[in-house]
C-alpha cells in the first residue's frame, strides 16, 4: 500500500452512480482506474464521508447500489482524530471561526481539516464561492483557499498566488484528478 495522496468528498464517490455527472456506465475506465488507486491506498476518504453517503442513500437521493461499492472499499474510509488532526482542528477553528462553528460536526469540516493536517489533495465536486464575504458560508474549495491551499476546481486555476508544486495541500475537482492520474487511459 502506498501513502495517501488524495482525499475524496462524498460528491466524488456519488458522481459514479446512475444518472450522475460521471456515471460509471458512461465512464467505466475512469472508475476502474479510480478503484485501482483506492486499492493501492493512494485515494482515501473518511468515516464521516461514508456516513454521509449512507445518509444520502437513505433519503433516496442516490442509487443504493453505491452502498455495495462503499462496503467493498471500506478500507479507504479512515477515522481521523489523532494529535495531528487535533492540532489542525484548532488552527482551522481559529482561522475560519464562523465556517468551523457552522460545520463543526459535519463531513466538510472533517475532510478539510484532515487534508490540511496531512497535506493531501482534497477532491470535491463543489465549486468555489469566493465572492461570499461572510465567514460561515464557504464551500469546501473556498475554505481550502482561505487556509492556503492551491485550488483548481473547474476549468480555470482559481489560486494564482499558490504554486501547486510547492504545496501538497490542494483542492481539485474530479476532472483535474482524471487529468493528473490519467484515469481516462487504459
Q: Tell me the pLDDT tens digit for each residue of 84-106.
A: 999 999 999 999 988 888 777 78
Report, as an integer, the average pLDDT of 77-86: 87
Q: Tell me the pLDDT tens digit for each residue of 127-169.
A: 888 777 666 788 999 899 899 999 888 765 566 667 777 788 9
Which distant-in-sequence residues (6+ apart) come within 8 Å of 133 by Cβ? Answer: none
d(CA 142, CA 2): 29
Residues of the chain above pLDDT 90, percent: 69
pLDDT for position 159: 62
Q: What is the dihedral of CA 182, 183, 185, 186, to 10 degrees?
A: 130
Domains of the chain: 6-181 (3.40.50.1010)
Which distant-in-sequence residues (6+ apart) come within 8 Å of 38 by Cβ? Answer: 44, 73, 76
Which distant-in-sequence residues (6+ apart) come within 8 Å of 68 by Cβ? Answer: none
What pTM was estimated for this model as a whole?
Answer: 0.92
pLDDT for position 155: 61
d(CA 11, CA 49): 9
pLDDT for position 135: 62
Amino acid at each position: 500500500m502506498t501513502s495517501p495522496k488524495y482525499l475524496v468528498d462524498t460528491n466524488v464517490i456519488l458522481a459514479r452512480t446512475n444518472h450522475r455527472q460521471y456515471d460509471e456506465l458512461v465512464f467505466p475506465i475512469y472508475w476502474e482506474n479510480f478503484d485501482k488507486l483506492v486499492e493501492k491506498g493512494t485515494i482515501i476518504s473518511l468515516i464521516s464521508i461514508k456516513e454521509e453517503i449512507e445518509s444520502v442513500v437513505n433519503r433516496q437521493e442516490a442509487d443504493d447500489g453505491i452502498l455495495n461499492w462503499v462496503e467493498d472499499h471500506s478500507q479507504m474510509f479512515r477515522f481521523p482524530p489523532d494529535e495531528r488532526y487535533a492540532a489542525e482542528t484548532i488552527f482551522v477553528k481559529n482561522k475560519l471561526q464562523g465556517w468551523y462553528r457552522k460545520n463543526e460536526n459535519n463531513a466538510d469540516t472533517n475532510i478539510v481539516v484532515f487534508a490540511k493536517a496531512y497535506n493531501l489533495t482534497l477532491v470535491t465536486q463543489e465549486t468555489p464561492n469566493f465572492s461570499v464575504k461572510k465567514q460561515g458560508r464557504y464551500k469546501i474549495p473556498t475554505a481550502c483557499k482561505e487556509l492556503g491551499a492551491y485550488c483548481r476546481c473547474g476549468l480555470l486555476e482559481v489560486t494564482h498566488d499558490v504554486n501547486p508544486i510547492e504545496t501538497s495541500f490542494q483542492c481539485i475537482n474530479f476532472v483535474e484528478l482524471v487529468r493528473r492520474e490519467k484515469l481516462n487511459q487504459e
